[in-house]
Amino acid sequence: MTAPTASLQCADVREAAGLAAFLTRLLHYDRAAAVRLQSGGGALAVFGRPPSFEVIAVRTALLRDGDAAPPLDLTVSAGELLDGIDDTDGRLALPAPVTGPPWSGVLPPRGGWQEVPGLPGADALGRAVAAAVAEFRGRDEQLPQERRTRAERDRLGREIWSRTIAGTGLPLRAAHAAQSLGFLPPPGLLSREAPVTLLVAGPWLRLRTPFGSVAVRTGTGLGELGVTPLRHG
């Protein structure tokens, strides 16, 4: 774990606001969420794992010149980090590090990403997610009373959200996570203004938008990851 810095200064208040919005959504799914922080190259990357989506979400914020050095690497409470964001000047007060959950020990690789063609645009992804939500609700309502159990609903959810998008191999749950976390561009925004891209690096797939990324590991076993497990706080 890198020794913590007392605070970081975002490049402007919009960067801090975007980070606060991400943390708020993450806490909606897990009030006890932890996030891993890594800084370098003038930016802060915040990694989180919202329950049930089985993805790693990444939100970055640009830092004011000089605040990225020395590099930072620690895991903290998402709620405490949110509480430490000053939306008037963009400063982040860093909380004390916590013991990281298992997912925080192995993150998507930092480099080596290549673009994968064939991913639909943001509007089409949003429609696919909406259709899947409607399908889940409809099929759930059709279940007889004796089958309306958590296990049956989990099975139904896995069936729907594990479907891949347009033959890309990206599971639909990744698009659902991106939408739920506010990463998909608003409907109607021109693709050239807010491109949605699919990238691959080894067994990892990454749905990237200007508002954040969602990464999914499609391989199994640490030996296939092509990354080195990192220390975390």
- Mark 53-67 as b/e (b = at least 16 C-beta within 10 Å): bbbbbbbbbbbeeeb
Q: Which residues are within 8 A (CB) of 93 and not within 5 positions of it... i.e. 6 or more apart? A: 6, 7, 84, 85, 86
- The whole-model pTM stands at 0.86
Within a domain: 232:
no
Residue type, 205: L
Domain count, the chain: 2
Enclosing domain of residue 38: 7-105
Low-confidence ranges of the chain (pLDDT < 70): 1-5, 66-69, 187-194, 219-233
Q: pLDDT for 108-133, tens place per residue? A: 998 999 999 999 998 899 999 999 99
Least Cα distance to 64 among 7, 134, 142, 24 occurs for 7
Same domain, residue pair 143 and 203? yes
Within a domain: 226:
no
Within a domain: 230:
no
Same domain, residue pair 98 and 14? yes
Same domain, residue pair 82 and 119? no
43 C-beta neighbours (distance < 10 Å), count:
15
Same domain, residue pair 122 and 60? no
